């Protein structure tokens, strides 16, 4: 959980305490332990309020990556663990956003990491400030000025392999947006004595070694140098090589950097020529030569080196040679030349070398400034980075150390002033009551050194300017007189006897109690170094050089500009420039980086408690903490404070509506923090005791755990709910899509069905139409065809005869006609007899004449019959008519009929007229007799037959007695209504009489005759012709007859053959008369 927490305060995951102000209890041990603990955990930075303590890790830590830059970018100072980037960011942002010029003051011993820190600050600012081609070039030039200056101004010392031997203050200039515009570098007092002499275990400036290792043979040759350190007197031999430093590679880096900064090729060349000349100067040696006046005069031992130097610099060899041998002193209008002895010659040589080099260095700074100068005239915001040499205490401390330590003293002074001032101002700003805190103020030491009348520097100047013999000893004497009473000044020779017996203090030394410790200075060389004399002959010789750079370095050599006034001494120059610097710094908002050296071995992981303790003491860090805590140990703006602790109180959690200050008040009341423990400033809460803060932190930690659980709970719930809602939403979406899809499908189905149905209907309609059209077309075609055929037929008919094709038909028809002809002719000869009953008929000759043949036979038969009939007489005609009538009436009805066909109807079977017996009868009948025949009359009562003569005349039917011929009954034909008979082969028949007629009195007649067919036929014909009525003839085997009043049924039955062919009649009862027929 803790790991996941985003840092919002340096209090998070803190090792020890990140801010010493919070240290509890506060004492030296706890202070060092805290630093050590943090150092062991790779936490090299610790705060005292806004001051950063930096402990040199002596190894590269992964805390300067671009990711780190991003992490610290735009974050509040106390938000993350202490880091130099936090300070840089704070400084840059207040510069950019609050328009306050800034200065970054980096202090500490030599090798404590000041230069590295300054570079880190610059690189951080470069990384976070504006981007763009132009800006990037400015940045690059600013950054690349470092390697150039380091090559010429840094050297390996016992303390530091890359010790800055000059003080550097760089102003980086920004525009209103915070984009860098350029910069100005000021350098302070290069340790030029190093050029000619280095302490044991130390080296000359890097550049000498770099040229010899890194330059090409060609280039070396041009510079008239050899690649051999031992060839040069100025290069200390014992530590020419430094571990882990690649001089050759660094040389390439320097040349590259020079190019980037903007050095022209010829300029670079000139610079290296000067460096070579300095190196070679060291090789010039002198030997004494006695002169006439008894004085020794120095002579150059080997002029070869001198010659090469002169070639290199374009100086007339004789001029230079002379300058090394003579010294011209001008006083007023006089010029006095004196010869130099060997020692003086060496002094002159070294002075020239030192001057050449230090002037070259100053020229380099000027030249770099020219390049990095801001191009615009708009108002600039400035961030100054001060990387000055650290406090130095060596075994032998000389003028340089004195100057350096003075500078550090001044810086401490400004630190004290500004820190306290700032602290006090804050309390006033915030309206908090403030009580003064005691602390050591080193103003008194500064005064010891810089006081215009009684200061050491003033005294030194006085000595230097004093006429008469001036030595370092006279200077010390003077010091002893003036400063003896000063509590920070110690000397054996002083009037005060305090140190008379102090054997640790040699007679030729004086000791100063610096804020950082006591330092013993060898007085030897103070005067010379302060004078910084270069014989005029030498500077004039240099000015005469044709080498333009060297000429420019020695403007005072120009005889036209001869200035008899002494140049200002080194001490006063330095004092002045330090004063300017301090003034400059005071106008800016200070940011402190206090570098601490953990060990003397330049080794990682070693933390020397004693060494650190010493530094802490003289840096006054504890006082710093105390001052900071005197009022209140911790302060924080209301907003971040409320933000950090608001979860500790219900009213302020989770949101406080209202001013942050009120929120914090509520919060502190709720937590029951004693009132004396805190104070409300205008914009900040001030917490007196760190314990209170830690209590708050503990509470916060506990509360955070609870909150984490709560948040986890809510988050889980939220997640589940979100997921659920999402799923629900998804489900709806899916469902709607599915529904849409289904509906679409359904719709498509319906649509396609509709289209199918539609298409079928359309198809059907179309086909119907097509059929109709086709039909119509066919009709048309048929009509056309018919017409064509008809026309064709007509035409063919018309033209047939003209065609041979028709010959066949003609032939056929002809042949047919011929055959018919032949047939008919043959038939003529084959005709059968004319008898109608002849059945013969010739055979058919051709099948196709079949019907014709039959028809012809029929026609012939009819014709033959007609012919036959034509032969008949009227008599015969009548007979046949009667026969025909009989056939119509009885054929197929009466079994007796076939037998009658062959019998001719004779009618008058009885020859009445001829038989006299019937004379009377003949008379009684005057009409023509049609039938005269004997019949049996059946007695109605018993069925017995009696013969009677039956007569039929034109109008009557008569029955007469056979014997007598007496008419027994006479019936007019009109009274005969019906004749009935059987269908059998018998001759019985009944004649029914009209009811009520005269004859009917006795009843119907029942008769039997052999000629029944003939009699019945003639009776029918006669009745028809007389009465115009058809006589009803009933043929039935059972019929009724009227006997007087009774109706008797006559029934024919099959009788036996005993009576032969004569049927027997029997009256069964009065209703039935049975006739048995054979």
Ligand X SMILES: Nc1ncnc2c1ncn2[C@@H]1O[C@H](COP(=O)(O)OP(=O)(O)O)[C@@H](O)[C@H]1O
Asked if 351 contacts 69 with a C-beta cutoff of 8 angstroms, the reply is no
Q: 187 — phi, psi (to 5°)?
A: -115, 150
> By beta-carbon distance, which residue lies closest to ligand X?
113
Tell whether residue 157 is a contact of Mg ion (CB under 5 A): no
CB nearer to ligand X: pick between 109 and 623: 109
If phi > 0 it is left, if psi is from -120 to 50 it is alpha, else beta; for residue 611 that is alpha
Q: Stretches 92-100, 114-122, 937-945, 1042-1050: which one binds Mg ion (CB under 5 A)?
A: 114-122
Q: Stretches 19-27, 56-64, 493-501, 944-952: which one binds ligand X (CB under 6 A)?
A: 56-64
Q: Stretches 113-121, 830-838, 918-926, 962-970: which one binds ligand X (CB under 6 A)?
A: 113-121
∠ CA 549-552-556, nearest 5°, is: 145
Tell whether residue 313 is a contact of Mg ion (CB under 5 A): no
Cα R_g (the chain), whole angstroms:
86
**Residue 113 interacts with, from Mg ion, ligand X, none (CB under 5-8 Å by kind):** ligand X
Catalytic residue among 108, 183, 384, 390: 390
What DSSP character marks residue 940? T
One symbol per residue from 153 to 182: x for binding ligand X (CB under 6 A), - otherwise; what is it?
-------xxxxx------------------
Is residue 531 part of the annotated active site? The answer reads no
Tell whether residue 115 is a contact of Mg ion (CB under 5 A): yes
Is residue 974 part of the annotated active site? The answer reads no
Is residue 599 part of the annotated active site? The answer reads no
Tell whether residue 394 is a contact of ligand X (CB under 6 A): no
Q: Please report how close the Cβ of residue 389 comes to ligand X at its closest, in angstroms.
A: 7
**Residue 595 interacts with, from ligand X, Mg ion, none (CB under 5-8 Å by kind):** ligand X
Region 61-90 residues binding ligand X, contact defined as CB under 6 A: 61
Catalytic residue among 50, 88, 115, 146: 115
Q: Please report how close the Cβ of residue 80 comes to ligand X at its closest, in angstroms.
A: 17
Q: Stretches 108-116, 498-506, 886-894, 898-906: which one binds ligand X (CB under 6 A)?
A: 108-116
CB nearer to Mg ion: pick between 115 and 145: 115
DSSP character string of 346-413: HHHHHHHHHHHHHHHHHHHHHHHHHHHS-S--S--EEEEEEE-PPP---SSB-HHHHHHHHHHHHHHH
- Which contiguous run of DSSP H or E holds residue 164? strand 163-164
Tell whether residue 112 is a contact of ligand X (CB under 6 A): yes
Nearest Cα to Cα of residue 909 among 1017, 1007, 1021, 1011: 1011
From the list 18, 49, 82, 111, which residue makes contact with ligand X (rule: CB under 6 A)?
111
- 551 preceded by cis ω (within 30°)? no
Tell whether residue 107 is a contact of ligand X (CB under 6 A): no
Is residue 111 part of the annotated active site? The answer reads yes
**Residue 894 interacts with, from Mg ion, ligand X, none (CB under 5-8 Å by kind):** none
Helix axes 133-153, 342-372, angle to 10 degrees: 170
The span from the CA of 723 to the CA of 704, in Å, is 27
Q: Please report how close the Cβ of residue 81 comes to ligand X at its closest, in angstroms.
A: 15
Tell whether residue 58 is a contact of ligand X (CB under 6 A): yes
**Residue 57 interacts with, from Mg ion, ligand X, none (CB under 5-8 Å by kind):** ligand X
**Residue 1056 interacts with, from ligand X, Mg ion, none (CB under 5-8 Å by kind):** none
Asked if 370 contacts 410 with a C-beta cutoff of 8 angstroms, the reply is no
**Residue 516 interacts with, from ligand X, Mg ion, none (CB under 5-8 Å by kind):** none
Tell whether residue 401 is a contact of Mg ion (CB under 5 A): no
**Residue 111 interacts with, from Mg ion, ligand X, none (CB under 5-8 Å by kind):** ligand X
Asked if 491 contacts 480 with a C-beta cutoff of 8 angstroms, the reply is yes
Q: Please report how close the Cβ of residue 386 comes to Mg ion at its closest, in angstroms.
A: 11
Burial 734-756 (b: 16+ CB within 10 A, else e): eeeeeeeeeeeeeeeeeeeeeee
CB nearer to ligand X: pick between 156 and 688: 156
From the list 1, 25, 60, 839, which residue makes contact with ligand X (rule: CB under 6 A)?
60
Nearest Cα to Cα of residue 533 among 363, 353, 325, 348: 348
Token duo for residue 289 = 């030569």
3-class secondary-structure state, position 495:
coil
**Residue 283 interacts with, from Mg ion, ligand X, none (CB under 5-8 Å by kind):** none
**Residue 56 interacts with, from ligand X, Mg ion, none (CB under 5-8 Å by kind):** ligand X
Across the beta sheet with 945-953, the strand order is 967-972, 956-961, 945-953, 929-938, 1005-1008, 988-993, 976-981, 1032-1035
- Which contiguous run of DSSP H or E holds residue 335? strand 334-339
Residue 952: count other Cβ atoms within 10 Å of its Cβ: 21
**Residue 82 interacts with, from Mg ion, ligand X, none (CB under 5-8 Å by kind):** none
From the list 16, 49, 108, 557, which residue makes contact with ligand X (rule: CB under 6 A)?
108
Tell whether residue 56 is a contact of ligand X (CB under 6 A): yes
Is residue 882 part of the annotated active site? The answer reads no
Region 1017-1076 residues binding Mg ion, contact defined as CB under 5 A: none
Is residue 1008 part of the annotated active site? The answer reads no
Catalytic residue among 16, 18, 108, 111: 111
**Residue 390 interacts with, from ligand X, Mg ion, none (CB under 5-8 Å by kind):** ligand X
Token duo for residue 256 = 């590259």
Q: Stretches 163-171, 430-438, 674-682, 954-962: which one binds Mg ion (CB under 5 A)?
A: 163-171
One symbol per residue from 569 to 598: x for binding ligand X (CB under 6 A), - otherwise; what is it?
--------------------------x---
Tell whether residue 113 is a contact of ligand X (CB under 6 A): yes
Is residue 160 part of the annotated active site? The answer reads yes
DSSP character string of 644-709: HHGGGSTTTSS---S-HHHHHHHHHHHTT--GGGEEE-SSEEEES-HHHHHHHHHHHHHHHHHHHH
The span from the CA of 325 to the CA of 317, in Å, is 13
Nearest Cα to Cα of residue 882 among 1024, 759, 987, 981: 1024
Q: Stretches 54-62, 128-136, 340-348, 358-366: which one binds ligand X (CB under 6 A)?
A: 54-62
CB nearer to Mg ion: pick between 153 and 282: 153
CB nearer to ligand X: pick between 603 and 901: 603
Catalytic residue among 110, 589, 689, 1023: 110
Residue 257: count other Cβ atoms within 10 Å of its Cβ: 23
- Which contiguous run of DSSP H or E holds residue 256? helix 247-261
If phi > 0 it is left, if psi is from -120 to 50 it is alpha, else beta; for residue 968 that is alpha
Asked if 106 contacts 114 with a C-beta cutoff of 8 angstroms, the reply is yes
Total residues at interface with ligand X (CB under 6 A): 21
Tell whether residue 236 is a contact of ligand X (CB under 6 A): no
Tell whether residue 164 is a contact of Mg ion (CB under 5 A): yes
Q: Stretches 112-120, 125-133, 768-776, 1005-1013: which one binds ligand X (CB under 6 A)?
A: 112-120
Tell whether residue 187 is a contact of Mg ion (CB under 5 A): no
Q: Stretches 8-16, 59-67, 234-242, 536-544: which one binds ligand X (CB under 6 A)?
A: 59-67
**Residue 60 interacts with, from ligand X, Mg ion, none (CB under 5-8 Å by kind):** ligand X
**Residue 58 interacts with, from ligand X, Mg ion, none (CB under 5-8 Å by kind):** ligand X
Q: 827 — phi, psi (to 5°)?
A: -60, -40
What DSSP character marks residue 205? B
Is residue 270 part of the annotated active site? The answer reads no
The span from the CA of 750 to the CA of 759, in Å, is 14
Place of tokens 């500009």: 561
Place of tokens 């408690």: 609
Interacting residues toward ligand X by CB under 6 A? 56-61, 108, 110-116, 160-164, 390, 595
Interacting residues toward Mg ion by CB under 5 A? 114-115, 164
Residues noted as catalytic: 110-111, 115, 160, 163-164, 390, 392
């Amino acid at each position: 959980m803790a790991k996941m927490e985003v840092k919002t305060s340096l209090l998070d995951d803190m090792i020890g305490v990140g801010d010493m102000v919070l240290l509890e209890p506060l004492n030296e041990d706890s202070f060092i332990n805290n630093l050590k603990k943090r150092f062991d955990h790779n936490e090299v930075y610790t705060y005292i309020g806004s001051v950063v303590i930096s402990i040199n890790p002596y190894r590269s830590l992964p805390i300067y990556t671009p990711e780190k830059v991003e992490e610290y970018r735009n974050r509040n100072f106390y938000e993350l663990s202490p880091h130099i980037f936090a300070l840089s960011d704070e400084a840059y942002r207040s510069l950019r956003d609050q328009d306050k010029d800034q200065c970054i003051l980096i202090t500490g011993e030599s090798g404590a990491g000041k230069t590295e820190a300054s570079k880190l600050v610059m690189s951080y600012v470069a990384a976070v400030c504006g981007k763009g081609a132009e800006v990037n070039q400015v940045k690059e030039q600013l950054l690349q000025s470092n390697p150039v200056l380091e090559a010429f101004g840094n050297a390996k010392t016992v303390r530091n392999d890359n010790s800055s031997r000059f003080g550097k203050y760089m102003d980086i200039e920004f525009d209103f947006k915070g984009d860098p515009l350029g910069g100005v570098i000021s350098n302070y007092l290069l340790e030029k004595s190093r050029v000619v002499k280095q302490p044991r275990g130390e080296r000359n400036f890097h550049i000498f070694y770099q040229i010899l290792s890194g330059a090409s043979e060609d280039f070396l040759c041009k510079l008239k140098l050899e690649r051999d350190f031992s060839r040069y007197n100025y290069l200390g031999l014992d530590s020419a090589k430094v571990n882990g430093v690649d001089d050759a590679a660094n040389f390439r880096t320097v040349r590259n950097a020079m190019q980037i900064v903007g050095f022209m090729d010829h300029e670079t060349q000139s610079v290296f020529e000067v460096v070579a000349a300095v190196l070679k100067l060291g090789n010039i040696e002198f030997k004494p030569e006695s002169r006439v006046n008894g004085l020794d005069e120095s002579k150059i031992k080997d002029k070869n080196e001198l010659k090469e130097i002169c070639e290199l610099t374009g100086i007339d060899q004789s001029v230079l040679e002379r300058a090394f041998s003579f010294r011209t002193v001008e006083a007023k209008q006089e010029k006095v030349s004196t010869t130099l002895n060997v020692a003086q010659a060496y002094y002159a040589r070294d002075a020239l070398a030192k001057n050449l080099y230090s002037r070259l260095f100053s020229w380099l700074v000027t030249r770099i400034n020219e390049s990095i100068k801001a191009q615009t005239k708009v108002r600039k915001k400035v961030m100054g980075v001060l990387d000055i040499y650290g406090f130095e205490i060596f075994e032998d401390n000389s003028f340089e150390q004195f100057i350096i330590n003075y500078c550090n003293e001044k810086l401490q002074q400004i630190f004290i002033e500004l820190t306290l001032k700032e602290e006090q101002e804050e309390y006033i700003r915030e309206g908090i009551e403030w009580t003064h805190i005691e602390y050591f103020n080193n103003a008194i030491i500064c005064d010891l050194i810089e006081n215009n009348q009684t200061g050491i520097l003033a005294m030194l100047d006085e000595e230097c300017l004093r006429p008469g013999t001036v030595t370092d000893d006279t200077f010390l004497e003077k010091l002893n007189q003036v400063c003896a009473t000063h509590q920070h000044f110690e000397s054996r020779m002083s009037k005060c006897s305090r140190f008379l017996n102090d054997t640790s203090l040699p007679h030729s030394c004086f000791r100063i109690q610096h804020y950082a410790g006591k330092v013993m200075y060898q007085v030897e060389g103070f005067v010379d170094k302060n004078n910084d004399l270069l014989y005029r002959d030498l500077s004039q010789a240099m000015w005469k050089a044709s080498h333009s750079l060297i000429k420019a370095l020695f403007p005072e050599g120009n005889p036209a500009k001869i200035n008899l006034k002494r140049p200002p001494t080194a001490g006063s120059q330095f004092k002045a420039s330090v004063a300017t610097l301090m003034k400059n710094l005071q106008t800016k908002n200070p940011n402190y980086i206090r570098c601490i050296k953990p060990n003397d071995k330049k080794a990682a992981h070693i933390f020397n408690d004693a060494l650190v303790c010493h530094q802490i003491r003289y840096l006054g860090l504890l006082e710093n903490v105390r001052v900071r805590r005197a009022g209140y140990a911790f302060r924080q703006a209301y907003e971040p404070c409320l933000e950090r602790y608001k979860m500790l109180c219900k009213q302020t959690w989770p949101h406080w509506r209202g001013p942050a200050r009120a929120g914090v008040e509520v919060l502190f009341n709720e937590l029951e923090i004693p009132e004396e423990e805190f104070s409300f400033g205008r914009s900040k809460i001030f917490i007196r005791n760190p314990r209170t803060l830690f209590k708050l932190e503990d509470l916060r930690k506990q509360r955070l755990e609870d909150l984490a659980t709560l948040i986890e709970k809510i988050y889980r719930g939220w997640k589940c709910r979100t997921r659920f809602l999402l799923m629900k939403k998804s489900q709806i979406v899916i469902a709607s899509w599915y529904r849409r899809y289904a509906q679409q499908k359904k719709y498509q189905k319906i649509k396609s069905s509709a289209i199918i149905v539609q298409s079928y209907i359309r198809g059907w309609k179309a086909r119907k139409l097509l059929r109709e059209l086709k039909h119509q077309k066919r009709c048309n075609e048929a009509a056309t065809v018919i017409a064509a055929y008809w026309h064709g037929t007509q035409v063919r008919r018309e033209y047939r005869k003209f065609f041979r094709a028709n010959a066949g038909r003609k032939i056929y028809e002809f042949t047919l006609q011929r055959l018919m002809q032949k047939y008919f002719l043959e038939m003529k000869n084959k005709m059968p007899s004319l008898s109608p009953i002849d059945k013969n008929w010739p055979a058919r000759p051709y099948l196709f004449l079949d019907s014709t043949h039959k028809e012809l036979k029929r026609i012939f038969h009819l014709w033959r019959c007609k012919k036959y009939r034509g032969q008949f007489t009227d008599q015969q005609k009548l007979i046949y008519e009667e026969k025909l009538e009989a056939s119509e009436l009885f054929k197929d009805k009466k079994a007796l009929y076939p037998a009658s066909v062959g019998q001719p109807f004779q009618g008058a079977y009885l020859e009445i007229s001829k038989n006299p017996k019937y004379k009377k009868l003949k008379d009684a009948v005057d009409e023509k007799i049609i039938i005269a025949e004997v019949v049996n009359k059946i007695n109605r009562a018993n069925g017995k037959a009696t013969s009677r003569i039956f007569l039929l005349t034109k109008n009557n039917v008569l029955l007469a007695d056979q014997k007598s011929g007496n008419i027994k009954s006479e019936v007019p034909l009109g009274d005969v209504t019906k004749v009935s008979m059987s269908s059998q082969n018998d001759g019985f028949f009944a004649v029914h009489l009209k009811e009520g007629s005269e004859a009917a009195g006795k009843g119907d007649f029942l008769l039997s005759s052999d000629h029944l067919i003939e009699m019945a036929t003639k009776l029918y014909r006669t009745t028809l012709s007389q009465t115009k009525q058809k006589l009803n003839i009933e043929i039935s085997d059972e019929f009724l007859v009227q006997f007087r009043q009774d109706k008797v049924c006559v029934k024919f039955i099959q009788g036996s053959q005993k009576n032969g062919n004569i049927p027997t009649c029997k009256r069964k009862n009065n209703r039935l008369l049975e006739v048995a027929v054979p």
